[in-house]
Amino acid sequence: YTVGGMCKGSGMIMPNMATMIAVITTDAHVEPAALHALLLSTVKQTFNKVTVDSDTSTNDTCIMLASGAAAADAEPIVEGSDAFDELAFAVHEVCESLARNIAADGEGASKLVTVNVTGAVNDEEADIAARAVANSPLVKTCIAGHDCNWGRVAMALGKCGVKFNQEDVSIDMMGMPVCRDGLTVPFDEDEALRRFEAPEIVISADLGAGDAATTVWTCDLTHEYISINGDYRS
């Protein structure tokens, strides 16, 4: 069978899809309740982990259609089966690719930004911490300016209210260790500037407080974002 998808999204993305419209399709033969469960689980891990500017609107929609044409005479796929797991993997790959592209194509964006948070007390706090970094104007503008300023990442983590000790925190930017045990780590500024040329900037923070982890996708904040929205009515 085949899984495909398309989506629309540029600004006002978050919380929970916000101004995003997506359609996922497959020709697999799937029991309706299983299809709904599969889509809901996938959206929570993909489309609901995207933020462009933390603003929202009324158009958040994700629809999945299954025609069954690939195996019309076969028994429908149900939860708990190997076929369900295989289909779930394929749907996740499609939705994650689309979600990442929404972030990369955010209004005025020049970089896709991936924020990984590990070591949180629970899933909820991992999500809060990751979104705090992803939504911080100071983090987003330092990326736009190619400034490897890990203090802005630490600031975003510190203000968000999740539980961790400063001396347990480690931060990497673009694969470079910049903070260990809450303290600065010397790094090569020229190498950092070279890594900023990549289309995707990865920020990783380990809070050292637990086992929960998550990933949120966003983009940088550029002058073009202001131009797009400042000239909105002209």
Dihedral angle over CA of 141, 143, 147, 151, nearest 10 = 80
Show the tokens assigned to 167: 């001396």
> How far is it between the farthest Cα atoms of the chain?
63
Catalytic residue among 19, 42, 46, 114: 19
User: What distance in Å separates the CA atoms of residue 178 and residue 117, rounded to the nearest whole number?
Assistant: 15
176, 148 contact by CB (below 8 A)? yes
Distance from C-alpha of 63 to C-alpha of 224, rounded to nearest angstrom:
31
19 catalytic residue (yes or no) = yes
Peptide bond into 15 cis (omega under 30): yes
| Residues with a known catalytic role | 19
